[in-house]
Structure 1
Amino acid sequence: HHALPLWRRGNKLFVGVSDPTNHQAINDIQFSTGLSTEAILVEDEKLTDAIEKFFDSHSTGLEDLADVDLDGVDIESIDDNNQDAIAGQDADDAPVVRFVHKMLLDAIKSGSSDLHFEPYEKTYRVRMRTDGMLREVAKPPIQLANRIASRLKVMASLDISERRRPQDGRIKMRLSKSKSIDFRVNTLPTLWGEKVVIRILDPSSA
């Protein structure tokens, strides 16, 4: 679409475009992010360079995820049983951690039954099943696919070094002292990386 998200302010996402009449690009970004959008005119050459740098730069992807807004979210803790693996994680993974937590919280709030983290050859997407329908809710940079899968596996106490065989695990998210949510986690090797499917279990059992 030749458009690139520039920054976020609250629930508004500012998107750089070289063609202000490209309403389709703005609408697509608004649909995929769930945020209101405002177009910012950028010279075509500069926008092209920025898009190329965005997809070529690993750190840019992390900066993008660092903008995930968790304001107002009431979350006491997430049980991370695999402490050795957590201790070995790079500090740069903090944005990935925030992104994963945000996806889990969004799934709970929307009443979704499951959450799919799916790698493809050139893209990566996250989908939620709500009312029986799978819908795309996020498209993080493909360069972060392994980090996202590893974070989910750490949370579910799975072997992060095993990427060739399916694994099953669980995550417990404590929303408060009296309420927690359980998630069942399944990993599946694919041609382009590990797919992770998370099922939200009945919170009444918590």
Structure 2
Amino acid sequence: MTFPLSLKGEDLSITMAEPTDTALIENLQKDVKKTLQVSVSTEKDIVNAYRTHYKIDDDEYESYFGRKEDGEEDIPVTTIDDFGSLVSEAEGDVELKSFREEENLKDEYLASDAPIIKLVNGILIKAINDGISDIHIEPFETAVQVRYRLDGALYKSMNLPATIKNALTSRIKILSGLDIAERRVPQDGRIKMSFGRRQDVDLRVSTLPIMHGESIVMRILDRGALNVDLTKLGF
């Protein structure tokens, strides 16, 4: 979702909910034939901008977006005691290869705490089992929202308490080999997962500083899905 901000010569400034979607940015540049300057906003803020600037009422909103407005509070916040339900029976067969040792963090939870480890494992396992292509984790003022991308569409999975956002981000950074102390610049890394003898999965991880913390996007790359020979292609 995007919203135009200003046009100066050949430079068009826009704001996006998913500024890491390079394919969308490239397509937009081709369509508008301008150089795009991209900033980040929440989907809720962009929707509100459309409603305010273009005077969209509730009926028009539903016809444009196909749903009523929803914010970060429209689904309940998952408590720390509920994280166990996210993990499948296959958790014991999962191996996550860490690229960085944890540093000393001052927060309510550490990245090495069992609930945080279980939470991250659960988020990843659920996404892979459900055939998800991307995982989006975005911090808000009162919660951390987890969304999954399936068949090109983003779906809300859960809202987590804001008190764990630093530990959650640090855990993912540790697994990705990123600098957990650096929160002011974007970073890119990789996570390798092994599901016993069944499946090897890579995740491409990108972090982006935003207002209430760091937004994380994880693209799931199934190495097994790329192992195709000519017989499987019909030759």
Tell me if TM exceeds 0.5. Answer: yes
Shift of 1:140: 1.0
Deviates more, 1:85-94 or 1:128-137: 85-94
Matched, 1:139 2:156: no
Over 3 Å counting, the alpha-carbon distance change for 1:130 and 1:62 in structure 2 is same
1:44 alignment partner in structure 2: none
User: Equivalent residue for 1:76?
Assistant: 94
Using the alignment, how far apart are the partners of 1:114 and 1:198 within structure 2?
5
* Matching of residues 1-150 of structure 1 within 5 Å: 61-65=79-83, 67-74=84-91, 75-82=93-100, 84-85=101-102, 90=110, 93-150=113-170
Output the TM-score relative to the length of structure 1: 0.64
Alpha-carbon separation, structure 1, partners of 2:82 and 2:222: 32
> AA paired with 1:172?
K
Aligned CA-pair RMSD? 2.8
Tell me the matched-pair count: 149
1:125 aligned partner, one-letter code? Q
1:138 to partner: Cα distance = 1.1
- 2:110/2:167 contact within 8 Å kept: no
Aligned to 2:61: none
Distance 1:125 1:109, change over 3 A: same
The answer to whether 1:196 aligns with 2:196 is: no
User: Is the contact made by 1:116 and 1:198 (CA closer than 8 Å) also made in structure 2?
Assistant: yes
AA matched with 1:110: D
User: Is the counterpart of residue 186 in structure 1 residue 203 in structure 2?
Assistant: no
Q: Deviations over 1:79-109 (max 9, x none)?
A: 1121x32798948721011111111111111
The answer as to whether partners of 1:181 and 1:202 remain within 8 angstroms in 2 is yes
8 A Cα contact 1:165 1:188, kept in partner: yes
> AA paired with 2:118?
R
User: 2:156 & 2:85 partners in 1: Cα distance?
Assistant: 17
Q: How does 1:169-184 map to 2 (within 5 A)?
A: 169-177=189-197, 179-184=199-204
Any idea what SS the aligned residue of 2:154 has? Answer: strand
Q: CA 1:91/1:169 → structure 2, altered by over 3 Å: closer, same or farther?
A: closer
Q: Deviations over 1:57-95 (max 9, x none)?
A: xxx953343x4353512533111121x327989487210
1:152 aligns with 2:172: yes
For the residues of structure 1 that align with 2:103 and 2:95, how far apart are their CA atoms?
Answer: 15
Would the aligned equivalents of 2:136 and 2:218 in 1 still touch at CA under 8 Å? yes
Identity %: 37
**Deviations 1:125-172 (Å, cap 9, x if unpaired)?**
100000111000011111111111111000001000000000000000
